[in-house]
Amino acid sequence: MARVPFRPFRSASDPVRDSRSRTSRTAPMPVPALAGARPRPLVRVLVMLSVVVLGAWLGLLVVGDVKTPVGPMDTTMALRPSLTGGTRVDVSPLGALELDSHVAPLRLDVDVDRLDPERSQRLVEQPARFSGLQDEVTRDVADGARELAVRSVVAVLTGATVLGLIVYRRPRPALAAGGLALVLLAGSGISAYATWNPKSVLEPKFSGLLSSAPSVVGDARSIVTEFDVYQQELARLVTNVSRLYDATSTLPVYQPDPGTLRVLHVSDIHLNPASWHIVASLVEQYGIDVIIDSGDTMDHGTTTENGFLAPIRDLGAPYVWVRGNHDSQETQKYLRGFKNAHVLDEGSAVTVAGLRVAGTGDPQFTPDRTLARGGGAAERMAGLRLASALRDQTRAGTPVDIAVTHDPQAARETDGTVPLVLAGHVHHRVNEVLPLGTRLKVEGSTGGGGLRAVQNEKPEKVRASVLYLDRATRRLQAWDEITLGGLGLTTAEVSRHLPEENSPTASPSPSSPTSPAGPSPTPVGASSDTSSGASPRTSANRSPGAPGPVP
List, in order, residues 6 or more apart from 466 with CB less than 8 Å away: 262, 263, 264, 265, 282, 286, 288, 479, 480, 482
Cα 436 from Cα 419, distance rounded (Å)? 10
Question: Is the preceding omega at residue 30 within 30 degrees of 0, hence cis?
Answer: no
| Chain segment 397-415, per-residue pLDDT in tens | 999 999 999 999 999 999 9
Cα–Cα distance measured from residue 160 to residue 48, given in angstroms and rounded to the nearest whole number: 10
Residues 6+ apart with CB under 8 A from 137: 70, 71
- pLDDT score for 100: 82
User: Does 117 share its domain with 183?
Assistant: yes
Same-domain status, 188 and 265: no
| Backbone conformation region of residue 514, classed left if phi is above 0, alpha if psi is from -120 to 50, else beta | alpha
Query: Residue 415 belongs to a domain with what CATH number?
Result: 3.60.21.10
Looking at residue 429, what is its pLDDT?
Answer: 94
Per-residue pLDDT of the chain (551 residues; tens, 9 = 90+): 555 555 555 554 454 444 444 444 444 555 444 444 445 788 888 888 888 888 888 888 887 788 888 777 788 888 888 888 888 887 765 567 777 888 888 888 888 777 677 776 666 566 566 556 666 776 777 788 888 888 888 888 888 899 988 988 888 888 888 888 888 888 888 888 888 877 666 566 766 555 544 444 444 444 444 445 544 554 454 445 445 544 444 444 466 777 899 999 999 998 888 788 889 888 988 889 999 999 999 988 888 788 899 999 999 999 999 999 999 999 999 999 999 999 999 999 999 999 999 999 999 988 765 555 456 888 999 999 999 999 999 999 999 999 999 999 999 999 999 999 999 999 999 999 999 999 999 999 998 877 655 555 566 788 999 999 999 999 999 998 988 865 544 566 778 888 876 544 433 333 332 333 333 332 233 332 323 333 334 444 333 333 332 23
Count of domains for the chain: 2
Query: Are 137 and 279 part of one and the same domain?
Result: no
Residue 6 lies inside a defined structural domain of this protein: no
Q: How crowded is residue 366: how many other Cβ atoms within 10 Å of its Cβ? A: 14
Answer yes or no: is 458 within a domain.
Answer: yes
145 in a domain, yes or no?
Answer: yes
Check whether residue 185 and residue 265 sit in a common domain: no
Show the domain range for 367: 227-503+519-541
* 331 and 300 housed in the same domain: yes
Q: At what angle do helices 133-168 and 171-194 cross, to 10 degrees?
A: 150
| Residue 167: HSE in the Cβ half-sphere, 13 Å Cα cutoff | 22
Among 61, 105, 101, CA closest to 83? 105
Contact 259, 471 (CB under 8 A): yes
How long, in residues, is the chain? 551
In a domain, 249, yes or no: yes
Q: Is residue 550 part of a domain?
A: no
Examine the domain organization and report whether 201 and 279 are in the same domain: no
* 108-137 pLDDT, tens digit each: 888 877 767 777 666 656 656 655 666 677
Task: For residues 306 and 447, state if they share a domain.
Answer: yes
Contact 100, 71 (CB under 8 A): no
**379 occurs within a structural domain:** yes
Which residues, other chains included, contact 416 with Cβ-Cβ below 8 Å and sequence gap of 6+? Answer: 434, 436, 437, 438
Is 350 found in the same domain as 310? yes
Residue 468 to residue 247: CA distance in whole angstroms: 18
Please tell me the pTM assigned to this model.
0.53
Residues 247 and 305 in one domain: yes
Shortest CA distance to 266 belongs to which of 497, 491, 94, 425? Answer: 425
One domain, residues 205 and 231: no
Is the peptide bond preceding residue 93 cis, with omega within 30 degrees of 0? Answer: yes
Q: Give yes or no: residues 407 and 304 share one domain.
A: yes
Indicate if 52 and 199 belong to the same structural domain. Answer: yes
- Is there a domain that residue 70 lies in? yes
The 10 Å Cβ neighbour count of residue 75 is 20
